Amino acid sequence: METQAPGNHSPPKDDRSTQDNAVENWLPINGSRNGKWWYSAFHNVTAMVGAGVLSLPYAMSQLGWGAGVTVMILSWIITLYTLWQMVEMHEMVPGRRFDRYHELGQYAFGEKLGLWIVVPQQLVVEVGVNIVYMVTGGTSLQKFHDTVCENCKHIKLTYFIIIFASAHFVLSQLPNFDSISGVSLAAAVMSLSYSTIAWGASVHNGKVADVDYSLRASTTPGKVFDFLAALGSVAFAYAGHNVVLEIQATIPSTPEKPSKKPMWRGVVVAYIVVALCYLPVSFIGYWAFGKSVNGDILVTLNKPKWLIALANMMVVVHVIGSYQIYAMPVFDMIETVLVKKLRFPPGLTLRLIARSTYVAFTMFLGITFPFFSELLSFFGGFAFAPTTYFLPCIMWLAIYKPKRFSLSWFTNWICIILGVLLMVLAPIGGLRNIILSAKTYSFYQ
């Protein structure tokens, strides 16, 4: 397919000075193209499979069997399609690569409008994920502690979140995506492992006595709001698009061997792993516990103890890696503003202060608002739906301009309509559940 770019766009000439190039290479997302296709695979698994998978059985209990299976499979297909579009659009202009999500947005919508459309949504997604992962890491550490030491003194969740955050004050100093590839690989392995434990332990325990598959809520408004919240939780689970261009930026590219080929190979492998994690956890977790399942499937499971303790530590390792994957584009934005706009000198001191401040900020918000399932559904609908489900489709229509009423045109408009509905409706359910949780919640307990 030939690129039909908007008429007022042309590839810019590289007239940057040596100093500008040095600044570019210092930034987290830079021109060092050392990535391999398997980097793409495990970075995408780490970005995609995270806290969201543990809440999927709970989402199933809000949706029921029919709607739940449909939503899960449809989301997998739609997000794989929109991810393919982003991989294709990464270097659709000869001699240029869109290494950041907002750069693609600027090309599609214009310099200023593109920034205003993409950056706020991308920031909400990435900062939102980092806050939720603070809660997830702390919750999993607490669950591990309580499982291996039942008679020990109760320790507040706040302290576990602080312990989890302490690792990020160190890891956040790793300069770029290539430098966190080891952490990301470990996280990807952990995600497959604890997902397997989650559904394997559910099978091992079998159905609970008098398992009930009716919807969680008993009133009609409750059912509607739960349905909307569940949509947000599913949207949160498919969130890897926010860092896909930044991941692809690490892969070398030539006209003969464009980066989209190895990147797509990695994405396909990643999505197979995603299916192996998401679908069994969702369906088997719901099959075993019905509507009695907890917002975090590992919290519901209690036997065998050593296996559940191990799974919770795997979650901790995984969300350590996921936090870094999502934080890296935020670090890039912060450091770009500080160095390019505010003219701070690039260096270790700047990186130490800027990144540590960000980690402390997400830790504070995670400690203050640890409503795990509710946070997932609110952030999932509010920001993940646009960047994952329909923004790539709008960009595709704006740039490639497929023929009206063609298959590509229809497919993209269907994704856009479903995505907009998700964005509008899902946060309503999530916000309602946050309000209900807040009524009974005591802060900093």
What are the pLDDT digits (tens) for 142-193? 988 988 887 888 888 889 999 999 999 999 998 777 777 788 888 888 888 8
Query: How many structural domains does the chain have?
Result: 1
Mean of the per-residue pLDDT values for the chain?
Answer: 81
pLDDT the model gives residue 259: 83
Question: Predicted confidence band at 11 (pLDDT cuts at 50, 70, 90)?
Answer: very low
Is 417 part of a structural domain of the chain?
yes
Residue type, 342: L
Is 348 part of a structural domain of the chain?
yes
Is 369 part of a structural domain of the chain?
yes
Residues spanned by the domain of 148: 35-439
Q: Which residue has the higher pLDDT, 237 or 278?
A: 278
Is 4 part of a structural domain of the chain?
no
What are the pLDDT digits (tens) for 369-386? 776 556 666 766 677 778
What are the angstrom distances between the C-alpha of 141 and each of 49, 93, 258, 311?
19, 46, 42, 11
What are the pLDDT digits (tens) for 179-215? 777 888 888 888 888 888 888 888 887 887 788 888 8
Is 26 part of a structural domain of the chain?
no
The three-state secondary structure class of 153 is: coil
Helix (H) or strand (E) holding 103: helix 101-109
Cβ atoms of residues 395 and 108 within 8 Å: yes
Angle, to 10 degrees, between the axis of helix 157-171 and the axis of helix 348-368? 160
What are the angstrom distances between the C-alpha of 57 and each of 278, 292, 315?
9, 10, 16
SS3 per-residue string spanning the chain: CCCCCCCCCCCCCCCCCHHHHHHHHHCCCCCCCCCCHHHHHHHHHHHHCCHHHHHHHHHHHHHCHHHHHHHHHHHHHHHHHHHHHHHHHCCCCCCCCCCCHHHHHHHHHCHHHHHHHHHHHHHHHHHHHHHHHHHHHHHHHHHHHHHHCCCCCCCCHHHHHHHHHHHHHHHCCCCCCHHHHHHHHHHHHHHHHHHHHHHHHHHHHCCCCCCCCCCCCCCHHHHHHHHHHHHHHHHHHCCHHHHHHHHHCCCCCCCCCCCHHHHHHHHHHHHHHHHHHHHHHHHHHHHHHHHHCCCCHHHHCCCCHHHHHHHHHHHHHHHHHHHHHHHHHHHHHHHHHHHHHCCCCCCHHHHHHHHHHHHHHHHHHHHHCCCHHHHHHHHHHHHHHHHHHHHHHHHHHHHHCCCCCCHHHHHHHHHHHHHHHHHHHHHHHHHHHHHHHHHCCCCCC
Q: Which residue has the tokens 């499971």?
A: 301
Is residue 332 pLDDT above 90, yes or no? no
Is 21 part of a structural domain of the chain?
no
Cβ atoms of residues 398 and 109 within 8 Å: yes
What are the pLDDT digits (tens) for 294-330? 777 777 776 678 888 888 898 899 889 889 888 988 9
What's the rounded mean pLDDT across residues 358-378? Answer: 79
Residue type, 224: V
Which range, of 30-34, 61-65, 420-424, averages the lowest pLDDT? Answer: 30-34
What are the angstrom distances between the C-alpha of 416 and each of 3, 112, 236, 258?
21, 22, 17, 28
Euclidean distance between CA atoms 333 and 108, whole angstroms: 20
Token code pair at residue 65: 């069997």
* CATH number of the domain where residue 236 is located: 1.20.1740.10
